[in-house]
Amino acid sequence: MNQDLRQLENEVEAMLATWSDSLDVLPPPGTWECLGVAVRRELNEVWLDDQASPTPDSATLARIRQAVRTELNRVSNGWAGTFRRWRVRLPVAAAAAIVIGMVLLHQAGWPGSRPTSNTADRDSRSYALSVDPLTLFVEAANNVWAGDPLTAAIDTDLESLEEGLGRARTANDGVQDALDDIDERIDDLFESGPIDVLGRLENTQAGAVG
Amino acid sequence: MEAERIAEVIARAQQRDPGAFDALIEAYSDRLYGYFYRLTGRRDDADDLLQDLFVRLVRRIGEYQHDGRFDAWLFRIATNLVRDRVRRARRARTTALDQDEGDEEAGLLARLPDPSAEDPGELAPRSEQVDRLQGAIERLSAGEREVIVLRHFSQMSFREIADVMGTPLGTALARAHRGLSRLRELMNDEEARES
C-alpha cells in the first residue's frame, strides 16, 4: 500500500475514532463497518473533486452558442410558419369539407334506403367503393361503438335492460293470457248459461205442477 | 448558479430568450463537458455531445417543470445522449466490420467505452494523449465508471443515479464505493510506476 492509500486509511480511522469518542454507546460492529465504507467513499469523492478535468475551449463554446441560436430560429420559424400556413389552409379545408359532405349526402340519400352488406369476407377497398359513404359512416360508427370500452359497457347495460324488459313482457303476456281465458269462459257462460238456466227453470216449474 | 437565478434563467429560456441559453451554457458547459469527456475519452466526441445537448435543450426546455432538480434533468438527457452515441457507434462498427471497410467514423467511435459492458478490458488503445486519471477511469468497469462520473459531475444523489441507470440503490452505492477505491489504487499504481 503506497503513501496516499495509507493516508486515506489513517483519515478514515481518525474520523471514526473522533465519533467513537463522542458516542456514549458504540453501535454494533456491522454498523461501524458500514460507516467506515461511507467515510472512505466520501473521502475518495473529495479526492476526485481535486483532480482537474478538461473544459471546453472558447471556439467550442462559440460554436455551441451559434448552434443554439440557429436552433432557436428554426424552432421559432417552424411554429410561425406552421401557424401562417394553417391560418390560410384551415378555412379553405373547412369549406372544401362542407362542399364534399353536401355532395356525398346528396348522392347517398338517407341511411336505411340501401341494403347493408357483410364486410367480413370482402376486400375493404372494393367494398368501400361499392357502398355509399353514409352506409360506411354508419358501419364505422357501429365499429367504434363496439370497440370502445365505455360504449361497450353501455351496450352491455342496454342489452341487460332490454332482456329484463323482455322478461317482464313475457310475464305480462302470461297474465294477459289468463285474463283472456277467464274472459272467454265468462262469454261461454253467458252464451250457454241462460238456456240451461231457463231449461232448469222449466223443469223445476213442471215438476211443481206435476 | 444559485437556485433563484436558475429558476429565472429557465423561465426565460422557456420563452426562447437567447440570452438565457447563453447563461445556461456558461453555467453548465464545464461540468457537462467533463462528464462527456470522462465517459468518451475524446475531446472531439465531448465537443459534439455538448453541442447536441444544448441543441436538444432548446427543443425540450418547454417540457421541464421547475422543481429545483434541473441538474438531474439535464444530466439525464446527457446520459441518454451518450448511450445513443455508443449504440450508434456499435452499429457503425458492426456495419464497418461486416462490409470490411475502414469507415472513419466507425473507427473513431469504436473506441467509445460501452456503458453496458462490464468488462473493462475491451477498450481499444487510443492514439491521443490522455491524462492519467482518464486512463484509470477507462480501466474501471462500465457500471462503476458511469456511477462515478455521473456522481462527480452532476452532483445527483445516489437515489437519482440509481434511477437514471435503472439499478437498485445498493448497486449504485456499491459501484461507487468499489470504483472510487479502485480508481485511487490505479492512480497510485500509475504514479508508483512513473516514479
Lowest mean pLDDT among A71-80, B97-106, B141-150: B97-106
CA gyration radius, chain B: 18
Chain A contact for B158, CB < 8 A? Answer: no
- CATH number belonging to the domain at B1-110, selected among 1.10.1740.10, 3.30.2390.10, 4.10.95.10, 3.20.20.370: 1.10.1740.10
pLDDT at position B58: 95
- pLDDT at residue A171 is higher than 90: no
Instruction: Look up residue B63 and give its DSSP letter.
Output: G
What does the pLDDT look like over B153-176, one tens digit per residue? 988 899 999 988 889 999 999 999
A44 CB neighbours in chain B (<8 A) are: 180-181, 183-184
Residues B117 and B115: their CA atoms lie apart, in Å, by 6
A48 CB neighbours in chain B (<8 A) are: 148, 152, 180, 183
A43 CB neighbours in chain B (<8 A) are: none
Query: What percent of chain B stands above pLDDT 90?
Result: 51
Asked if A54 and B177 come within 8 Å (Cβ–Cβ), the reply is no
Candidate from B16, B34, B50 with C-beta closest to A53: B34
User: For the residues B82-89, what does the mean pLDDT come to?
Assistant: 87
Lowest mean pLDDT among A37-41, B53-57, B94-98: B94-98
Residues B44 and A57: their CA atoms lie apart, in Å, by 11
- pLDDT at residue A127 is higher than 80: no
Does the domain at B119-195 match CATH 1.10.10.10? Answer given as yes
Question: How far apart are the CA of B58 and the nearest CA of chain A, in angstroms?
Answer: 7
Q: Please state the domain extents for chain B.
A: 1-110, 119-195
The answer to whether A133 and A104 are in contact (CB under 8 A) is yes
Burial annotation B70-98 (CB, 10 A radius, 16+ → b, else e):
bbbbbbbebbebbeebbeebbebbeebee
The answer to whether B84 and B109 are in contact (CB under 8 A) is no
Pick from A146, A170, A166: nearest CA to A156? A146
User: For the residues B95-111, what does the mean pLDDT come to?
Assistant: 52
Candidate from B21, B38, B148 with C-beta closest to A68: B21
Region of residue A109 (left: phi > 0; alpha: psi -120 to 50; beta: else): left
Interface list for B 126-145 with A (CB within 8 A): 131, 133
Query: What percent of chain A stands above pLDDT 70?
Result: 66
Neighbours of A53 (CB within 10 A): 19
What does the pLDDT look like over B105-137, one tens digit per residue? 443 444 445 544 444 444 434 433 357 888 899
Residues A175 and A167: their CA atoms lie apart, in Å, by 13
Q: Which of A2, A53, A72 is the best substitution to test chain B (most B C-beta atoms within 10 A)?
A: A53
- pLDDT at residue A66 is higher than 60: yes
Pick from A77, A68, A7, A74: nearest CA to A40? A7
pTM > 0.80: no
The residue length of chain B stands at 195
Neighbours of A101 (CB within 10 A): 11
pLDDT band for position A84 (cuts 50, 70, 90): low
Q: Which of B25, B33, B60, B182 is the best substitution to test chain A (most A C-beta atoms within 10 A)?
A: B33
Candidate from A2, A8, A72 with C-beta closest to B18: A72
What is the ipTM metric for this complex?
0.77
Asked if B25 and A53 come within 8 Å (Cβ–Cβ), the reply is no
Lowest mean pLDDT among A75-84, B5-14, B23-32: A75-84
A45 CB neighbours in chain B (<8 A) are: 151-152, 180
Helix ranges, chain B (H): 3-14, 18-40, 43-60, 70-99, 104-109, 132-137, 142-154, 158-165, 169-194
Question: How far apart are the CA of A43 and the nearest CA of chain B, in angstroms?
Answer: 10
